[in-house]
Chain A
């Protein structure tokens, strides 16, 4: 790892945590699974919902069914079943398409609103950031975003998430979790994801 790479990761860590996010470097996908499990147990979550991207959907493939929570992958259920599950899920997991170190931003491109809602309706959002998708600056990210827009054939939504949902509309006090996630967990994945997925 070059110094620049280390600086970039360190910067990302600082930016994510400075706005109340949790940041962790994880060596592989099974550690991500452990983290999400611990989070679910600690918060007594009953329902975890996973995006259908290669990383998120493979998290609980071989997980024991004895856990006190359920983990559902989008795509394994009908639209209607999935939507009903989504309404009550406490934890949403998604891999990001890009992340920006300087602003602590996660970038998710979605063509299906269910993917976006996994990160927008749940109390806690766990974002998996493959290290290779971390760029330094917003300027760098902008060219990727323009390309995403140019390449998209159908409707597309690109979400830049830089912190959990918050407001200071009541008495200028900063309160988290207004509409979207109260907690943001960012897991920087070291493992080359394509090999593992």
Chain B
């Protein structure tokens, strides 16, 4: 894997192509959801429908089979890849086929269909342009919906030139015209058309195909035989359900309300060439899906609509594409799908590329908790093959920080010495280039115990590790702002959120942290307190991770009563109770970066809204993925972490640099460290900025406090 990471990082043209395509994918999807009335509600509606469809999978399968058969469709059940391939080869032989045209289909990829058919001597032509490009390049698709996303115009031009035997100019219009002419011949002469299906409709026996190019129309209209290879999870009860899911799929996958073409077909139609009725086959493929359905944790992976949005938004996928981050199913959702359609080891081999930013869940049209499923795969893999020593060390991050804080002067001294950092790299695998935060003995907790908090409404503060032991000013600012808003702040018993161990798939350690925190926080919630956090990762753990991990009513209770500070302040604002007395108007324009855990929990930034309410001249940086540091990931040596984290952050650093500001604002402690390291701009927590404005004592922060 390290060799593939090294090659991926060095391949600048591929990186540029991947970034361009994936960023555009994420941005158009976000835009169409924002512009569509009810867009925010669609994912949960779609999720419910998929959950019902999977719960009723057996009944839906029976109904679909009956309805399809009564319409003259030949329905076949394939329990695994080999039996599906055998069925299709037999059908092709029976039809005396020579030329087979295909649409892009993940089920086709899953069973290596093209390769098997070619081995049997059939000419097989991929007709989706992207898939055709990767066929000419003898590659696998690098993305779930955009197979050739990793290739530049120049590379595509060279491929077509080679295939034609003459030079063609690097002009997409010319290439398309050439592809159109050559593929038209194939469509017109094909004996069999093979498709997948985006949905199969139980009550009517119809299948639904979604394309922009229109190739599926020709693949299904011209050949005398059509075969659709359909994963059993694609069956939904009726057309109404399919339409809701169709919208979710297309909005997330194509950033549009509908693609150019949606084809709903049932039974063979009369052929244009000779008036004969087309022969239609549907192969319902299981190949691990029943096992997935029977696993209470992984079942939700079956909700996947194959939109590719998780590929687009994923920071490491944007860097490496699906040839590194994927097996056949690419990107984040590729991990659980590989576990069930291939092997757990194959899934575990690329699962470490997930850095638990949580963004894929927020981009998923059915909100699959993909980071959780990936952590489970990591857990299983490391249980079998062992954990890397550096991952074991960093899973224990909180203990390390406590020790570092207890002897802060020594820690800070050691961490500033270059040769000692090199020794640390050699001993532990912590990259010597990564600056450490400044540790302090005068923790927030110590300060708070000598502080008397006053207010009529009692709230509980979940401080988390960094604000406690590295930058207590954040905690003090949070307490100050809450007290300004008439809140009495309490500090319930707590440990660090557990995210560092979750990142490396140490689910047992994560569970211990979750259980401790939920146990103590649920008590304060029951006493009528809301829980406030200022670290986005802590908010993510409280609201998303703990309820999923623990599946308990206490965890749900804690999740429902936890807020990031700024959500809490906005709620007060909506009630007309927000007090932001900020005598120190802040004239300096600032750039704001929304941390990924903020976006994955809220889908937006509450802090940004509060800063705007406070009159800060704040501009949000255009950036839709994670900054790259991902907790402790960016601390790991070289290709294991640091190099990847810096490559991910490159675009963010450039864009922040181009904003011509002297200060950046973000809530996340690790994003702060990463941005300061990558841009040399000082980064401040929004609570600290607001509190300083309140105290009219604002000074531009310096970043010299970092050690390393």
Binding site for B on A (CB under 8 A): 15, 19, 79-80, 82-83, 86-87, 102-103, 105, 110-114, 116-117, 120-121, 138-139, 142, 145-146, 149-150, 152, 154-173, 175, 177-181
Which of chain B's residues have a CB closer than 8 A to the CB of A159? 217, 261-264
Name the residue on A nearest B146 (C-beta). A169
Once A139-B243, A146-B204, A179-B180 are accepted as A-B contacts, the answer to whether A160 and B264 lie under 8 Å apart by CB is yes
Q: Which of B180, B217, B258 is within 8 Å of A162, CB to CB?
A: B258
A161–B156 Cα distance when bound, in Å, is: 28
Q: Is the beta-carbon distance between B176 and A175 smaller than 8 angstroms?
A: yes
- 8 other A-B residue contacts (CB within 8 Å) besides A121-B218, A169-B146, A170-B148: A116-B221, A146-B204, A149-B204, A150-B204, A155-B270, A157-B269, A162-B261, A167-B176
Which of chain B's residues have a CB closer than 8 A to the CB of A163? 212, 259-260
Q: Which of A111, A112, A150, A178 is within 8 Å of B214, CB to CB?
A: A178
Which of chain A's residues have a CB closer than 8 A to the CB of B258? 103, 105, 138, 160, 162
A105–B214 Cα distance when bound, in Å, is: 15
Once A105-B258, A170-B176 are accepted as A-B contacts, the answer to whether A83 and B213 lie under 8 Å apart by CB is no
Q: Is the beta-carbon distance between A178 and B257 smaller than 8 angstroms?
A: no
Can you spell out 12 A-B residue pairs with CB atoms less than 8 angstroms apart? A113-B222, A113-B272, A120-B214, A120-B221, A155-B280, A159-B217, A169-B146, A170-B153, A171-B172, A179-B187, A179-B218, A180-B218
Residue B164 lies at the interface, judged by CB distance under 8 Å to chain A: no
Which of chain B's residues have a CB closer than 8 A to the CB of A102? 257
A21–B497 Cα distance when bound, in Å, is: 52
Once A171-B153, A178-B129, A180-B214 are accepted as A-B contacts, the answer to whether A112 and B269 lie under 8 Å apart by CB is yes
1/0 per residue, CB under 8 A from A, across B181-197: the answer is: 00110011000000000
Q: How far is the CB of A115 from chain B (nearest CB, A)?
A: 9
A185–B240 Cα distance when bound, in Å, is: 29
B17-25, B476-484, B578-586, B608-616: which lies at the interface: B17-25
A42–B138 Cα distance when bound, in Å, is: 42
Which of chain A's residues have a CB closer than 8 A to the CB of B264? 145, 149, 157-160
Q: Which of B71, B152, B217 is within 8 Å of A120, CB to CB?
A: B217
Binding site for A on B (CB under 8 A): 17, 20-21, 24, 71-72, 127-130, 133, 146-149, 152-153, 156, 172-173, 175-176, 179-180, 183-184, 187-188, 201, 204, 206, 212-215, 217-218, 220-222, 238-240, 243, 247, 256-275, 277-278, 280
Which of chain A's residues have a CB closer than 8 A to the CB of B266? 149, 152, 155-157
A80–B271 Cα distance when bound, in Å, is: 11
Name the residue on A nearest B214 (C-beta). A180
Which of chain A's residues have a CB closer than 8 A to the CB of B212? 163, 165-167
Q: Is the beta-carbon distance between A112 and B270 smaller than 8 angstroms?
A: yes
Q: Is the beta-carbon distance between A142 and B239 smaller than 8 angstroms?
A: yes
Once A146-B240, A172-B20 are accepted as A-B contacts, the answer to whether A178 and B72 lie under 8 Å apart by CB is no
Q: Is the beta-carbon distance between A111 and B260 smaller than 8 angstroms?
A: no
Number of cross-chain contacts by CB at 8 Å: 195
Nearest 10 CB-CB pairs, A to B? A155-B267, A180-B214, A169-B130, A114-B272, A160-B262, A171-B153, A165-B214, A178-B213, A158-B264, A163-B260
Once A113-B222, A121-B218, A179-B214 are accepted as A-B contacts, the answer to whether A103 and B278 lie under 8 Å apart by CB is no
Which of chain A's residues have a CB closer than 8 A to the CB of B183? 179
Q: Is the beta-carbon distance between B129 and A167 smaller than 8 angstroms?
A: yes
Which of chain A's residues have a CB closer than 8 A to the CB of B148? 169-170
Q: How far is the CB of B184 from chain A (nearest CB, A)?
A: 8
Q: How far is the CB of B317 from chain A (nearest CB, A)?
A: 15
A117–B266 Cα distance when bound, in Å, is: 17
A117–B220 Cα distance when bound, in Å, is: 10
Name the residue on A nearest B37 (C-beta). A102
Name the residue on B nearest A123 (C-beta). B180
Once A105-B258, A138-B247 are accepted as A-B contacts, the answer to whether A157 and B172 lie under 8 Å apart by CB is no
Q: Is the beta-carbon distance between B213 and A180 smaller than 8 angstroms?
A: yes
Q: Is the beta-carbon distance between A178 and B215 smaller than 8 angstroms?
A: yes
Name the residue on B nearest A157 (C-beta). B265
Q: Is the beta-carbon distance between A83 and B265 smaller than 8 angstroms?
A: no
Q: How far is the CB of B34 from chain A (nearest CB, A)?
A: 16
Which of chain A's residues have a CB closer than 8 A to the CB of B201? 149
Most buried by A among B206, B221, B243: B221
Q: Is the beta-carbon distance between B206 and A172 smaller than 8 angstroms?
A: no
A120–B72 Cα distance when bound, in Å, is: 25
Q: Is the beta-carbon distance between B24 and A172 smaller than 8 angstroms?
A: yes
Q: Is the beta-carbon distance between A156 and B267 smaller than 8 angstroms?
A: yes
Q: Is the beta-carbon distance between A171 and B152 smaller than 8 angstroms?
A: yes
Q: How far is the CB of B263 from chain A (nearest CB, A)?
A: 6
Which of chain A's residues have a CB closer than 8 A to the CB of B275? 79
Q: Is the beta-carbon distance between B260 and A146 smaller than 8 angstroms?
A: no
Name the residue on B nearest A120 (C-beta). B217
Which of chain A's residues have a CB closer than 8 A to the CB of B133? 169-170
Q: Is the beta-carbon distance between B273 and A179 smaller than 8 angstroms?
A: no
Name the residue on A nearest B206 (C-beta). A149
Which of chain A's residues have a CB closer than 8 A to the CB of B273? 79-80, 83
Which of chain B's residues have a CB closer than 8 A to the CB of A87? 188
Q: Is the beta-carbon distance between B147 and A169 smaller than 8 angstroms?
A: yes
Q: Is the beta-carbon distance between B129 and A169 smaller than 8 angstroms?
A: yes
Q: Is the beta-carbon distance between A170 and B261 smaller than 8 angstroms?
A: no
Which of chain B's residues have a CB closer than 8 A to the CB of A19? 256, 260
Q: Is the beta-carbon distance between B269 and A155 smaller than 8 angstroms?
A: yes
Once A166-B260, A179-B180 are accepted as A-B contacts, the answer to whether A116 and B217 lie under 8 Å apart by CB is yes
A111–B71 Cα distance when bound, in Å, is: 13
Q: How far is the CB of B190 from chain A (nearest CB, A)?
A: 13
Q: How far is the CB of A63 from chain B (nearest CB, A)?
A: 24
Which of chain A's residues have a CB closer than 8 A to the CB of B243? 138-139, 142
Q: How far is the CB of B661 from chain A (nearest CB, A)?
A: 29
Which of chain B's residues have a CB closer than 8 A to the CB of A105? 258
Once A142-B240, A149-B266, A155-B267 are accepted as A-B contacts, the answer to whether A112 and B272 lie under 8 Å apart by CB is yes
